[in-house]
Amino acid sequence: MNNNNQYQTLSEASKALSQEGFTSPLDIHNANEATLNDRRYLAKDLLITEFHRFEGVSNPADSSVIYAVEAKEGQDKGTIIDAYGADSDKSEAEFIRNLEIKQ
């Protein structure tokens, strides 16, 4: 898994991940379900393959993280972009906590 924040910006990371096939955003329904490429997945069927955290240049509270997620079975790949800290989306955070991280 790659989590070394090798990108300077969120947009740079998003573009690079898109070139690696992580082209679709996950649509998170609840703590255990999401849709990716028009297929419904349970959290247990998805893996975080890498993630990158960023802090806002002008405001440290403007922080975000991008997760590269792939299906354990099949070819589906996508991303989740979320704030972290106090601005984190609680439903997305719950879903992310239920995902396995690829070793």
- For every residue of 41-90, DSSP letters joined together read EEGGGEEEEEEEEEE-SS-TT-EEEEEEEEESSSS-EEEEEEE-GGG--H
5, part of any domain = no
The answer as to whether 28 is a domain residue is yes
Residue 87 lies in a domain: yes
Its domain, for residue 43, covers 10-101
Residue located via tokens 């028009």: 38
Model confidence pLDDT, tens digit, residues 18-37: 999 999 999 999 999 999 99
| Claim: this prediction has a pTM higher than 0.85 | yes
Q: What is the pLDDT of residues 52-82, one digit of tens each?
A: 998 866 565 568 999 999 999 988 999 999 8
Quick check: is 1 in a domain? no
Q: Are strands 77-83 and 63-71 parallel, antiparallel or unpaired?
A: antiparallel
Is residue 43 included in any domain, yes or no?
yes
Number of neighbouring beta carbons within 10 Å of residue 22:
23
* Structural domains of the chain, count: 1
Indicate the DSSP class of residue 20: T
Comparing CA positions, the residue from 5, 39, 17, 30 lying closest to residue 93 is 30
